[in-house]
Amino acid sequence: MTSTARARAVVLVSGGLDSATALAMAQAAGYQCHALAVDYGQRHDAELRAARRVADAAGVPLRVVGIDLRAIGGSALTDDIAVPEGPTEGIPVTYVPARNTILLALAMAHAEVLGAGDIFIGVNAIDYSGYPDCRPEFIRAFEVMANRATRAAVEGREMRIHTPLIEFTKAEIIRRGMALGVDYALTVSCYQADGEGRACGRCDSCRIRRAGFEAAGIDDPTPYRRD
């Protein structure tokens, strides 16, 4: 390795606010980043287009892996189940079974092919909407498993799962991203964005995002649709 070679990292990007921030933080930490987006049969492709915009703005390559999670079912994000527009309790219907396990498994595969030992995922245990696979105990268990799973592990190279946002509030995420120059107008968080990526302003994800900009004292750049 020459003195100018930087360690490679795979960064999972969804097109949303959190993963755009995680990408900026991975770059700020000096990693040569490779973005990975997963097309898991989301009900709209606005977020995949947003992922492309985020990767392009950061100047990093983006790989998109297609996986048909509709064959598995069980989520309002992949099935014809209505997305709730009010506050919900417990694990919401927008939970995609095993989603972060699947995303991290694909990131692990991509990292192995690239010779990267670092994976970034923008999960968040504070404003996490009640998803079990956003909790620190899940991430640590995944990391242990990853270090038993791969050719790299057998050869003694460790795999690290970075969750730079895990203890941040949404407002803290936004402030950190703004400081790093993230353009949040490029991102889509809404569970039911329209074809132009405009947000509904009412779903769980929109409400958390909007409240985050308010708490951060930053003007919300999200394009909302009028309906």
Instruction: Report the C-alpha gap between 208 and 203 in whole angstroms.
Output: 9
- Closer CB to a second copy, residue 155 or residue 219? 155
Please identify, using beta-carbon distances, which residue of 12 and 102 lies nearer to a second copy.
102
Residues 97-121 as b/e (b if ≥16 CB within 10 A, e otherwise) read eebbebbbebbbebbbebebbbbbb
Q: How far is the CB of 68 from a second copy (least distance, A)?
A: 5
d(CA 163, CA 65): 21
Least distance CB 47 / a second copy (angstroms): 17
Q: Classify 143 in phi/psi space as left (phi over 0), alpha (psi -120 to 50) or beta.
A: alpha
Binding site for a second copy (CB under 8 A): 63-69, 71-74, 91, 95-102, 105-106, 108-110, 112-113, 132-133, 135, 137-138, 141-142, 144-151, 153-154
Q: What type of residue sits at position 39?
A: D
Residues 6 or more apart in contact with residue 45 via CB below 8 angstroms = 39
Nearer to a second copy, 24 or 111 (CB): 111
Q: Return the number of the residue (6 or 140) whose C-beta is nearest a second copy.
A: 140
Question: Please, what is the minimum distance in Å from the beta carbon of residue 39 to a second copy?
Answer: 9
Q: How far is the CB of 139 from a second copy (least distance, A)?
A: 9
Distance separating alpha carbons of residues 78 and 225, to the nearest angstrom: 22
Cβ-based burial of 1 (10 A; exposed 0-12, middle 13-18, buried ≥19)? exposed
User: Quick one: 32 or 150, whose CB is closer to a second copy?
Assistant: 150
Surface-to-core class of residue 20, CB atoms within 10 Å of its CB (0-12 exposed, 13-18 middle, 19+ buried): buried
> Which lies closer to a second copy via its Cβ, residue 30 or residue 115?
115
Least CB distance to a second copy at residue 147 (A): 8
CB of 136 to a second copy, least distance (A): 9
Residue located via tokens 């964005």: 193
